[in-house]
Amino acid sequence: MSATGMVRPPSPTRRRSVRQFVPPQHGAWAMLLVPYLVGVLVAGFHWPHLPLLGAWLAGYLLSYYALQAVKTRRPGRFRAQLLLYAPVTALLGGLVVLARPQVLVYAPAYALLLAVNAAYARRRDERALVNDLVSVVQSCLMVFVAAAVAAVPASRVTVAFGAVLLYFVGTVFYVKTMIRERGSVSYYRLSVGYHVAAVAVAAWLAWPLSAFFAVLAVRAWALPPRGLRPKQVGLLEIAACVLLVTTILLL
């Protein structure tokens, strides 16, 4: 605080320091938090969900910088980040495993999916569609992990998992039509076609979900030609995430 009592803005050096430890992947936070939140709310909260959240977030940060190390082939460049997030992930993850060892049933799936991520990172092709979809599956599996922590059967959250997976897979296609693949006719058709099919799948899962996915289908059809800015796209996705969670809780 300055002599006048005004709070000084963070210095450029401090902002750069923070950015070194927080990846510039704004959309990833929704993919991390929504499946976790849905799993906890549907299965019921238990205290191990708290260290699970910490391990989940720290694990994402650890994996991000580990994959950057694989991509650049310069692990020393990310030593500070790896040394920070590895022990945090291990400590909190270990606490979850001690409390609920049944979560280990999902470890092979995560190991396999991370191996796919590493293969794409090594090829410096982490923006590939398949790699994006693999990351979506990783995130959505957290619905089942949260259920395991609550000691409830996976069948209790299957519909919630299906809804979250449908949404985030569609988001991969839709966001590409809005930003990186803007103007691509093939991606636009793929996105619209997927969202139309998702309405039918959602109705099969639980008919109230079909209304939500019908709105997403209209979004996928109407918005790409409008040339929205990335910030506008992000704000609309935040609203969609809120509506998704609300719809699942009303089932």
At residue 27, the pLDDT reads 79
Rounded average pLDDT over 137-143: 98
At residue 248, the pLDDT reads 97
At residue 66, the pLDDT reads 96
CA 165 – CA 151 distance, rounded (Å): 22
Rounded average pLDDT over 54-61: 97
Confidence of residue 4 (pLDDT cuts 50, 70, 90): very low
At residue 2, the pLDDT reads 43
* pTM of the complete model beyond 0.75: yes
At residue 130, the pLDDT reads 96
Question: Tokens 């803005």 correspond to what residue?
Answer: 9
Kindly report which listed range (6-15, 60-69, 159-168) carries the lowest average pLDDT score.
6-15
Residue 136 reports pLDDT greater than 90: yes
Collapse the DSSP code of 124 into the 3-class scheme (helix H, G, I; strand E, B; otherwise coil) and give the result: coil
CA 172 – CA 169 distance, rounded (Å): 5
Residue burial 80-119, b: 16+ Cβ < 10 Å; e: rest: ebbeebbebbeebbebbbeebeebeeeeeebeebbebbbe
